[in-house]
A and B are shown apart, each in its own frame.
Chain A
């Protein structure tokens, strides 16, 4: 068993865990973060992309609303590169009570959320696809936040301050020394090894899985209710402003433009197991009908992908409650006072928008237990890629491409991903998993859902990642299966046509069903990274040439990778 030691072990690689690791690293703690899969693969990457203004909670949960508006303003400064200032509208549909708008304005006023009622005609001018029957409209400072980009930046920032970010490291046990937690045993899923991590302090930031981790530490009764929500990404920006229904928060009442798509969400169903999240037909229909209320014709628009995420809803009460009524606020559990166990804090509940605040409170509490005076700096420390403070703009990649029309091969036209960027990502991340690459670069996330780019990416992965054929095949087939999972429950209309065209390519032209290993059990995460790839033989000379080849991406050798291509500063 490989031993590791650190001052702080963070469990969980979502927004909260990555935020905690960034906070710890900035305060000078020697930090290790373990995540059982890819960063932001659990809850954080499975939301609609809404950076709340707080208006959604202004009537019902003033504390949550205050936190949201405060953090919204902070994140615009420190994580600008992940945020699109799309703005938000609350609209009163013909089915909604117009009086709620007055309560909304009053609530926002109480907590300082800027809100302005605008004429319906103005709202329809801004968003022509909106239901023309809306009765009232209110503008608020909602925004879009790119989960993967932001969590990736947090992790890179933490690494830049010495933290070790260990993806695909699953906690199998919590180490105890008497009444003290002293680290964890984790399974390195890529190398198939067990790792013992000794830590001065352990921070459980595993969200919906927090009770499972706490249980491993011998702590019972952590009340986390997994609240499942499904979301559907529509192929276009049906709206360019975040649209909220102007009612008490309910299902299917948010439509968020994020990157090239718009996401309708969501549902709220209590689940027993945060890892078992089915997508039933009636929930899909519910989302489509809800979308129809906001944007007439929604059902005829092209649905791209559906997924389910799971909220960690913290509840002290043991009886069943409507989970939307369970606190959206976060919970920081001090296991010393709660359970008599030292060296462990659990942070759970909360919202994406308040991840930073949750991290700050968590690390503050740890410092207090340790008797350390180390002030938090995350309120002002800018994340990598956001140094110049410019907000993300949807046209960034296109703008980049226009400056590089004739000097870069595009691997993915939908998301404008140049070959050099893909090669850099493969090298620097050491991943061979195309689904990880999807999250990092948005490879295969466009209308064709990887129909064209995934074969190309596999060929490049084979050469640059120095994979063997079967490893590349596993990555290709794993991607296709992962994609299919998010596609088949909403396959109709143009997306069905696209999917059949993709089948034509993958099955009819490439014959992937006849690849060596195609019918083996579902491929796990492919293991090989650059460090252990030398064992693999290569046919031909392309791979050999590619091994030492510098990236073709102009400017990428020295520049910070995301600034020129996916940010606005090019």
Chain B
């Protein structure tokens, strides 16, 4: 029996799984596929705006989000602890010395691929020099065969917001193809010979003191080396700007956490579809997992559900406007009823359906429509949670990291309490007997 079966391999699931596994827990991760990491920009954004206003100090603004927001489920200090933990996973991870920098107290304003300002709390070191507060002149470097990044457009918008910015576009590709995507370039930037070509193209074309902003493709296996090499040889600050998916910084996140899970003895099964749960009373004792044509039941003391929202397929809405949570069939909260607005006609307006999801208590246990726990040993984390619009409010992956970390902490706390009571196998029962719940604080 696993201590935890984690469903989903995005930031929330990987975070919970890694935290439990590195604390000695026996963990199985099952996921339909590689998670949302490969789509997201690879930054941890805690909160970019509230009520349409930009937020520079996210922790201080959390209180304005309301009691239904997933952040309201986190005990004080959780986000800071999660950030510390996150940085630690990279500092001695497989891609080290590639590191994350930043804090949850203050967001870094960084340029997006259209030259808008995105506010992120934790960012790869390779993005940090894009901090627009520095006020340094910027040269955004494009690569013509990379259609997912348009440097002149980004530079123009930055310039119109008062930042000194211009663009250079290099017609450089690792191989003579009209399209090279971000992954193709990332592999090329791992190669010193390709970097030589880039440096040769740029030499003499950058102004003194100008920082160079590249699309986030500066290496996949040795990103620190690629970035550091460019900084030294171009003799200036170099930074990455996210691209359209696939996200190379996201791949680095996935690679790091997956490798840490492997080292900690956890198992990860991809291409696995959870088709249902086995229950005993108010507990889920196992999940039915279909891999290829075979269905297997995996048992766990705890089930961490981190399958994502509508975008990831964790939630589905049918043509009669009934929503369902696909893995365990948990009640979905916040779906607008018949006659209520599901979506607003303005694309950038608040979208009611976007906030639908699983409602949980402070112990991340799912709640039924009556407000009672729908399962005692299921913990819900990440974008599946009700009450947030991560992209609109700029909380993408902040919610996932925070709630994934909290979920992992609840399992770790329960295991250690059980161990204290001399019971390492039937840990749940031990907790129940002791009356302890949600030991995440």
**Chain A interfacial positions (CB closer than 8 Å to B):** 288, 299-300, 303, 406-411, 419, 452, 455-456, 458-460, 462-463, 468-470, 472-473, 476-477, 480-481, 483-485, 488-489, 491-493, 496-497, 500-501, 503-505, 507-516, 518-519, 538-543, 545, 552
Interface contact B114-A500, CB-CB below 8 Å:
no
Interface contact A516-B151, CB-CB below 8 Å:
no
Name the residue among B166, B178, B344, B392 with the largest chain A CB count within 10 angstroms: B178
- Is B8 an interface position by the 8 A CB rule? no
Interface contact B178-A409, CB-CB below 8 Å:
yes
DSSP class of A's interface residues: helix, strand, loop or mixed? Answer: helix
Given A300-B319, A410-B179, A514-B118, residue A463 in contact with residue B153 (CB < 8 A): yes
CA distance A501 to B168 in the complex (A): 30
Given A409-B178, A515-B114, A541-B167, residue A460 in contact with residue B150 (CB < 8 A): yes
Interface contact B313-A497, CB-CB below 8 Å:
yes
CA distance A204 to B166 in the complex (A): 50
Interface contact B152-A543, CB-CB below 8 Å:
yes
Interface contact B347-A469, CB-CB below 8 Å:
no
Residues of B within 8 A of A456 (CB): 147-148, 150, 244
Interface contact A511-B117, CB-CB below 8 Å:
yes
Given A505-B245, A539-B155, residue A455 in contact with residue B348 (CB < 8 A): no
Partner of A473, one of B112, B157, B178, B321: B157
A566 shortest CB reach to chain B, Å:
19
Interface contact A539-B244, CB-CB below 8 Å:
no
CA distance A273 to B169 in the complex (A): 49
CA distance A410 to B166 in the complex (A): 26
Interface contact A519-B311, CB-CB below 8 Å:
no
- Interface membership of chain B positions 305-318, coded 1 if the CB is closer than 8 angstroms to chain A and 0 otherwise: 00001111100111
Residues of B within 8 A of A503 (CB): 311, 354, 391-392
Interface contact A484-B347, CB-CB below 8 Å:
yes
A411 shortest CB reach to chain B, Å:
7
CA distance A407 to B176 in the complex (A): 9
Interface contact B310-A469, CB-CB below 8 Å:
no
Residues of A within 8 A of B319 (CB): 288, 299-300, 303, 492-493
Interface contact B151-A542, CB-CB below 8 Å:
yes
Interface contact B391-A538, CB-CB below 8 Å:
no
Residues of A within 8 A of B95 (CB): none
* Residues of B38-63 whose CB lies within 8 A of A: 39-41, 49, 52, 54
Residues of A within 8 A of B41 (CB): 508-509
A512-B348, A540-B152 are known; give 10 further A-B pairs, CB within 8 A. Answer: A462-B152, A470-B160, A477-B347, A491-B353, A493-B318, A503-B391, A507-B391, A513-B348, A538-B152, A542-B167
Residues of B within 8 A of A518 (CB): 116, 348
How many of chain B's residues have a CB under 8 angstroms from any CB in A? 68
- Is B396 an interface position by the 8 A CB rule? yes
Interface contact A409-B147, CB-CB below 8 Å:
yes
Residues of A within 8 A of B392 (CB): 503, 507, 513
- Is B159 an interface position by the 8 A CB rule? yes
- Is B165 an interface position by the 8 A CB rule? yes
A470 shortest CB reach to chain B, Å:
7
- Is B156 an interface position by the 8 A CB rule? yes
* Residues of B189-205 whose CB lies within 8 A of A: none
> Would you give 6 A-B contacts (Cβ < 8 Å), ordered by A?
A303-B319, A463-B152, A508-B390, A514-B54, A518-B116, A542-B144
Given A516-B160, A539-B156, residue A462 in contact with residue B343 (CB < 8 A): no
CA distance A542 to B151 in the complex (A): 8
CA distance A112 to B143 in the complex (A): 60
What 8 A-B pairs are tightest by C-beta distance, nearest first? A459-B150, A540-B167, A500-B311, A469-B156, A508-B391, A542-B169, A511-B116, A507-B391
B288 shortest CB reach to chain A, Å:
22
Residues of A within 8 A of B396 (CB): 504, 508
Interface contact B117-A514, CB-CB below 8 Å:
yes
Given A463-B153, A493-B318, A539-B167, residue A406 in contact with residue B178 (CB < 8 A): yes
Interface contact B310-A406, CB-CB below 8 Å:
no
A487 shortest CB reach to chain B, Å:
9
CA distance A459 to B143 in the complex (A): 12
- Interface membership of chain B positions 200-216, coded 1 if the CB is closer than 8 angstroms to chain A and 0 otherwise: 00000000000000000
Residues of A within 8 A of B159 (CB): 469, 539
Closest A residue by C-beta to B154: A459
Closest B residue by C-beta to A460: B150
Interface contact A488-B343, CB-CB below 8 Å:
yes
B238 shortest CB reach to chain A, Å:
17
Interface contact B150-A458, CB-CB below 8 Å:
yes
Interface contact B321-A492, CB-CB below 8 Å:
yes
CA distance A496 to B310 in the complex (A): 7
CA distance A400 to B385 in the complex (A): 46
CA distance A455 to B116 in the complex (A): 13
- Is B283 an interface position by the 8 A CB rule? no
Interface contact A511-B118, CB-CB below 8 Å:
yes
CA distance A481 to B396 in the complex (A): 22
A299 shortest CB reach to chain B, Å:
4
CA distance A480 to B343 in the complex (A): 15
Interface contact B156-A500, CB-CB below 8 Å:
no
Partner of B152, one of A408, A409, A459, A511: A459
CA distance A545 to B153 in the complex (A): 14
Residues of B within 8 A of A545 (CB): 169
Interface contact B347-A455, CB-CB below 8 Å:
no
CA distance A252 to B390 in the complex (A): 38
B193 shortest CB reach to chain A, Å:
22
- Is B345 an interface position by the 8 A CB rule? yes
A534 shortest CB reach to chain B, Å:
16
- Interface membership of chain B positions 117-153, coded 1 if the CB is closer than 8 angstroms to chain A and 0 otherwise: 1100000000000000000000010101101111111
- Interface membership of chain B positions 162-192, coded 1 if the CB is closer than 8 angstroms to chain A and 0 otherwise: 0001111100000011110000000000000
Given A409-B145, A509-B41, residue A540 in contact with residue B343 (CB < 8 A): no
Residues of A within 8 A of B142 (CB): 542
- Is B342 an interface position by the 8 A CB rule? yes
Residues of A within 8 A of B118 (CB): 511, 514
- Is B438 an interface position by the 8 A CB rule? no
Interface contact B391-A462, CB-CB below 8 Å:
no
Given A411-B147, A462-B153, residue A540 in contact with residue B116 (CB < 8 A): no
